[in-house]
Amino acid sequence: MDHFSYRRRILHCEEVPIPSLAERYGTPLYVYSKATLLHHLRQLQHAFAAVRPLICYSVKTNGNLHICRLMIEHGAGADVTSGGELYRALRSGATGDKIVFAGVGKTDAEFRYALDSNILMFNVESEAELHALAEVAGQLGRPARVALRVNPALPPKTHVKTDTSVKGTKFGLDIDSLLEFARPMVRHPHVQVVGLHMHLGSPILTTEPYREGVEKGLLLIDALRQQGHPIEYLNMGGGFGIHYRRQAALPASAFAEVIVPAVQKARCKLILEPGRFIVGNAGILVSRVLYTKDSGGKHFVIQDAAMNDLIRPTLYDSFHRIWPVAPADDIPAPPTDYEDDIPGTIKTEVVGPICESGDFLAHDRRLPPLHRGELLAIFSAGAYGMSMSSNYNGRCRAAEVLVDGATHRLIRRRETFEDLVRAEIEV
C-alpha cells in the first residue's frame, strides 16, 4: 500500500496535490510519502515481532538524511556499504550499536572509522578482508565483531546484476569452504565471529530463496558453534520485492513465516537489511513533458527526467509505471497491470534529454497522448533512484520533497551550476 492516489483526476501524495509541488520546486522532482515509509517499516516490525529483530535500513537504497533519520527515530538501525554511508547513518542519528557494515572492498580507513564508531559488526566477505580487519583492530586495540557473509549458492532468482547469491558472484564466502576458513578464527585476539550473514539478491518475489537460505544457514550456525564460535546473530539481508509492473510482491508476513521459525530454532537474534521494501513505493519521480516527436516509426515523449535521475531502466531494464499527473477527463485511471491493452493510449518511448540512446524511462509503453508542459509521475522510484543519480551531461541533480499529511518539506534542494564544479580546483 502507498499514499499516492488520484483525487478529482489529480495525483496526490497523501494530502498534497503533486502539481503544487512541481510548481514550487520545479522538475524533475522526487516526492516521498512519510506515511508510506513508516507503514512499510511497521509492516516488517510487526511481521517479525515474535523474534524482536534489529531492522537495519539499507542506506544505499536512499540515503537522504531525513529519510535515514525517520527510520532511526522509529526504531531502525542502519546497514551501510561504505564509509560515506556510515557517515550518513551517524549524521542521521544512528548509534554504532545498530549499524552493520557490508561490502567486498572495505578499506583500512573504513575499518578504522567503523571501529572508532563502535559499530555492531562487519559483514566479512573474504579471507583477505578478515585478515586486514584483524590487523587494523589489533592496531587500534578494539576487537572487531564480525558476521561471516556466506554465498549460499542458490539458483538464479532475479536480474543478473542484482543477484548476489548464485555461485560465481563476487559476494560472500564460498559455502563449501566457509567452515574450513572459520576454524582457525576461534578465539582470535582481535576478531570475534558472532554472526552469519547472507543477502540473497534483490528484488525477490517468492519465499523459496529465503527458505533455502535459512536451511543452509542453520546448518552452518550449528557447525560454527561446534567449532567454538559464539554465534548470536543471523542476518538475512534485504531483498524483499515490491510492486513495479503489477501486484506481484509478497507481504512481509510471508517472508516472516519462513524466517522466524528458523531464527527461533537457531536461538539467534535476527538482523534484516531492507531497503527497497521500505522506500521503493514511498517515492515517485515527477517530470515535465518537453516535446513529442515521431521518428523511425516510433512515438517519442521527451521529458525532463533522464537516466542521470533514474538509471534503473537503463541499467536493469526495470519497469516503472508512468502516468500523467493530471490526466484529461477521457483518460482512464492508471492501470495496475500493464499486460492489458488500454483504450485511448498509444505506444510511446519515454526518453530524457541525455545524449545516449540508453537514456529512456520506458519503451513501447501505452500512454495517453501527451502534450508539452504536462506533468508525468514515474512511480516506485524511491529506491535506487536518487541514490544512483549523477551529474552526467552536466545535469543538476533533482530536488527531493518529503510529504507528511497536508504538509511538505524540501529535504534536498535542486543542485545549481555552481554545485557542478564545486569540488574542482579553480582554473
Q: Does 276 bind ligand PLP (CB under 6 A)?
A: yes
Q: How many CB atoms lie under 10 A from the CB of residue 96? A: 17
CA distances from 426 to 137, 416, 418, 422 (A): 39, 17, 12, 9
CA distances from 221 to 228, 256, 353, 382 (A): 11, 19, 52, 35
Q: How many CB atoms lie under 10 A from the CB of residue 427? A: 4
CA Rg value for the chain: 23
**What gap in Å lies between CA 112 and CA 141, rounded to an integer?**
11
Whether 355 is catalytic: yes
* Binding to ligand PLP in span 230-249, by CB under 6 A: 237-240
Instruction: Provide, rounded to whole angstroms, the least separation between the CB of residue 394 and ligand PLP.
Output: 29
Instruction: Provide, rounded to whole angstroms, the least separation between the CB of residue 372 and ligand PLP.
Output: 36
> Which is nearer to ligand PLP, 60 or 145 (by Cβ)?
60
Which residue lies nearest ligand PLP, judged by its C-beta? 238
Any residues with CB less than 8 A from the CB of 188 and at least 6 apart, and which? 134
Task: Name the active-site residue from 13, 68, 355, 396.
Answer: 355
Q: Does 202 bind ligand PLP (CB under 6 A)?
A: yes
Q: Which residue from 147, 150, 87 is spatially nearest to 120, judged by alpha carbons?
A: 147
Instruction: Provide, rounded to whole angstroms, the least separation between the CB of residue 164 and ligand PLP.
Output: 7
Q: Does 60 bind ligand PLP (CB under 6 A)?
A: yes
Rounded (10°) angle between helices 252-266 and 34-47: 40
Stretch that binds ligand PLP, among 18-26, 124-132, 274-282, 360-368 (CB under 6 A): 274-282
Instruction: Provide, rounded to whole angstroms, the least separation between the CB of residue 359 and ligand PLP.
Output: 24
**What gap in Å lies between CA 182 and CA 221, rounded to an integer?**
11
Torsion angles phi and psi, residue 150, rounded to 5: -100, 140
> Which is nearer to ligand PLP, 82 or 348 (by Cβ)?
82
* Binding to ligand PLP in span 311-340, by CB under 6 A: none
> Which is nearer to ligand PLP, 33 or 61 (by Cβ)?
61
Q: Does 61 bind ligand PLP (CB under 6 A)?
A: yes
DSSP track, 103-157? -TT--HHHHHHHHHTT-SEEEE--HHHHHHHHHHHHHHT-PEEEEEEEE--PPP-
Instruction: Provide, rounded to whole angstroms, the least separation between the CB of residue 22 and ligand PLP.
Output: 27
> Which is nearer to ligand PLP, 33 or 387 (by Cβ)?
387
Q: Which three cell numbers stand for residue 406?
A: 497536508
Stretch that binds ligand PLP, among 88-96, 109-117, 225-233, 275-283 (CB under 6 A): 275-283
* Binding to ligand PLP in span 68-87, by CB under 6 A: 79, 81
DSSP at 281: G
| Cα-Cα-Cα-Cα dihedral sign, residues 281, 285, 288, 291 | negative
> Which is nearer to ligand PLP, 60 or 320 (by Cβ)?
60
Q: Does 58 bind ligand PLP (CB under 6 A)?
A: yes
Q: Does 277 bind ligand PLP (CB under 6 A)?
A: yes
Instruction: Provide, rounded to whole angstroms, the least separation between the CB of residue 419 and ligand PLP.
Output: 27
For 1-15, letters b (16+ CB in 10 Å) and e give: ebbbebeeebbbbbe
Instruction: Provide, rounded to whole angstroms, the least separation between the CB of residue 272 and ligand PLP.
Output: 8
Q: Does 199 bind ligand PLP (CB under 6 A)?
A: yes
> Rule CB under 6 A: which residues touch ligand PLP?
58, 60-61, 79, 81, 102, 199, 202-203, 237-240, 273-277, 383
Which residues belong to the active site? 355
